[in-house]
Amino acid sequence: MANQYIIHYAELGLKGHNRINFERRLVSNIGTALSDLGDFKVRRFHSYIMVAAPDEAPTSEIEHRLSRIPGIAYFAPTTVTPLDMAAMTEAALDLAKDTIAPDMSFRVRTTRGNKQFPIKSTDVDRQIGGEVQDLTLARVDLSNPDLTLSIQIYDKAYLFAQRIRGLGGLPLGSSGRVMALFSGGIDSPVAAHLMMKRGCAVDFVHFHLLRGPEQIRNAKIVTMARQVLSPHRTPSRLYMVSAAPFEVAMALLDSRVATVVFRRFIMRAADKLARHRRAQALITGESVGQVASQTLKNINLIAQATDLPILRPLIAMDKLEIISLAKKIETYELSIQPYKDPCSLHARRPATWAQLKDVLAVEEAIDVDALVEETLANHVEEIRIVFDEAPRVFRQ
């Protein structure tokens, strides 16, 4: 094993008696995320997690993936030595050569978890720190250094100087399952990502105007869902629901509340699919005031179509913040590709302050409950996203 990493987490340390369950989940998630790169050994290690990588695994890809796994506060490439001062000093000097310049400040900080080791932590700090200073000519600062060289003494000595920031949050799957309403735009992939960061396993539902299994399988929506899931390599389901029955039902109606009616139709259908998957909430990419359906009045009317909680992680974010996150999670370029999204096809002058009586009148005219049942019975394709395999389409 050439590369080893110590994984540090933040929120997991606050979980009390449940902490071990969160740690086990994170160990499993790390193993899954790295599984296609080789034979990794991932284990709980005192109050950390240790990852040992095979020689052939590319360091840059390992670190890229670790930086995107929910639950990791930061991780550190680690050098492991026997419990011997000479070996520890040699490893510390090797790290110092690569990380500490003469114009920097540093400190050595030792944690002696193994009390059988005969040298006190402060003496290790002093002895190795002196050697590092002689080599680098850098200044020692015990309070606010530019760099901390850490030494952790357990069964062996574990040394690291570089700390790479992780995603934070909670391990994927530790907070239950949710169903994300997934459009072809910028917002919903970011919303799904943020809920995964909070530990939620995510399934997706998308309403489309595509024709046939081949168009559905090759739609950019499938690629976008896969991209959101790719850092975790976790299986999921994407429900592709045809909006054509709704379009037909609305063909002879010209109503300014059509957009709100369509969103309520989506909520009703997503509610039933979520319950089928035992999801505990719906996720949307709504942000207050961004479009006509996202005024507070319309958001309230739309929410009344379901009894499930609706979580809106983007609700107070502006578009530039959302775009920045989309670029970071690598969905932005997919999101801006041309796509005919039915969400944008209703009402030439949509009402920004829809009235419930007008909405109910349209729903009665199209018999919305029967329309939802007919759509779910005959117009749903289930795509099972499994990594290392092509997406598989199943008719509901």
Please report the pLDDT score of residue 351 as a whole number: 77
- As given in the structure block, the two tokens for residue 286 are 């709504």
CB distance 201 to 173 below 8 Å: yes
Q: How far apart are CA 186 and CA 335, in angstroms?
A: 5
Confirm whether 3-165 and 177-395 share one CATH topology. no
* DSSP SS3 for 66: helix
Q: What is the pLDDT of residue 161?
A: 95
- CA-closest candidate to residue 108, choices 79, 75, 132: 132
pLDDT at 1 over 50: no
pLDDT-based confidence at residue 288 (cuts at 50, 70, 90): confident
pTM recorded for the entire structure: 0.90
Number of residues that make up the chain: 396
The answer on pLDDT for 352 being more than 90 is: no
Calpha distance 287→320 (Å, rounded): 12
Question: So what's the pLDDT on residue 254?
Answer: 79
Percent of the chain with pLDDT over 70: 94
Residue 396 has pLDDT above 60, yes or no: no
- Take residue 104 and report the two structure tokens written for it: 């920097």
At residue 337, does pLDDT exceed 80? yes
- Answer whether residue 292 shows pLDDT above 90: no
Q: Is 282 exposed, middle or buried (0-12, 13-18, 19+ CB in 10 A)?
A: buried
Q: What is the mean pLDDT of the chain?
A: 91
d(CA 46, CA 360): 59
**What pLDDT is recorded for position 343?**
65
Greater pLDDT, 282 or 258: 282
Fold classified for 177-395:
Rossmann fold (3.40.50)
Share of the chain above pLDDT 90, in %: 80
Interatomic CA distance for residues 217 and 144, integer angstroms:
54
The C-alpha atoms of residue 220 and residue 349 are separated, in whole angstroms, by 28
Please, are residues 42 and 31 in contact by the beta-carbon 8 Å criterion? yes
Q: What is the pLDDT of residues 186-215, one digit of tens each?
A: 999 999 999 999 999 999 999 999 988 888
Secondary element (H or E) of residue 389:
none
pLDDT, tens only, 243-280:
999 999 998 887 889 889 999 999 999 999 999 999 99
Domain boundaries, the chain: 3-165, 177-395
State the Cα torsion 116-10-24-18 to the nearest 10°: 100
Q: What is the pLDDT of residue 391?
A: 54
Q: How do residues 118-176 score in pLDDT, each as one tens digit?
A: 999 999 999 999 999 999 999 999 999 999 999 999 999 999 999 999 999 999 999 99
Query: What is the greatest pairwise CA distance in the chain?
Result: 86
Structure tokens at 278: 């035992």
Residues 139, 101 contacting (CB under 8 angstroms): no
Angstrom distance (rounded) from CA 197 to CA 360 = 37
Contact predicate 286/312, CB 8 Å: yes
Q: Region of 120 please: left (phi>0), alpha (psi -120 to 50) or beta.
A: beta
All residues at 6 or more sequence positions from 35 whose CB lies less than 8 Å from its CB, including other chains: 233
Q: CB–CB of 160/146 below 8 Å?
A: no
pLDDT band at 29 (very low <50, low <70, confident <90, very high): very high
pLDDT at 2: 47
Structure tokens at 51: 């990852």
Say whether pLDDT at 392 is over 90.
Answer: no
- CATH T-level topology, domain 3-165: VC0802-like (3.30.2130)
Is the pLDDT assigned to residue 344 strictly greater than 50?
yes
What's the confidence (pLDDT) of residue 217? 87
